[in-house]
Amino acid sequence: MNRLTLIGMPGSGKSALGRIIATRLGWQFIDTDLCIERRFGKKLQAVVDQVGTEEFARIEEETVLGLTSEGAAVISTGGSVVYSEAAMRHLASISTIVFLDVPIHRLHPRIARAAPRGIVGMGEGGLEELYRRRFELYHKYAHSIVLLDGENLQDAATRIISQCGVS
């Protein structure tokens, strides 16, 4: 299949790695968060603030369900996409789903550098609680799991391409 969907926690590198992989393979790059930002004309956090998390989840699901299977592409999703079974079924039907498994100690500094950002479901338990809730879902939906623990982006992209058998 000439489509990869990258799932994982905020800060796991889905967008950055997706761009690199798409460029190397000559594929289209689709970032569902950017699709939502373009639709609303504002940053993701502003969209979440405007519509609330429940409506945002519906918008995210609608955005994913609107993706077609046409053409080779790397799809970068929002970290919360795994809360939608319909979205994940659709992604599985049009792509190979790859979970970018980044240890939580690597996520903290990345998220701090990128703040503020739209992180759906971040509550009082913070990143650790969010990680715990989503980890099982990422495993449930992934066709392939790639552990990333400190590689640079170029090396990580090479491993993902190799592990997923795409070219």
165 annotated to a ligand binding site: no
Q: Which two tokens stand for residue 157?
A: 């992209």
Q: Is 31 annotated as a binding residue?
A: no
Tell whether residue 13 is among the known ligand binding residues.
Answer: yes
Residue 72 marked ligand-binding: no
Helices (H), 11-152: 14-25, 32-40, 44-65, 85-94, 104-114, 126-141
d(CA 86, CA 22): 25
Residue 11 annotated in ligand binding: yes
- Is 117 annotated to bind a ligand? Reply is yes
Q: 121 among the known binding-site residues?
A: no
Residue 83 makes CB contacts below 8 A (sequence gap 6+) with 57, 120, 121, 137
Measure the CA–CA gap between 101 and 27, rounded to whole angstroms: 23
Binding site residue list = 11-16, 33, 79, 117, 134
Binding site residue list for substrate = 33, 79, 134
Binding site residue list for ATP = 11-16, 117
Binding site residue list for Mg(2+) = 15
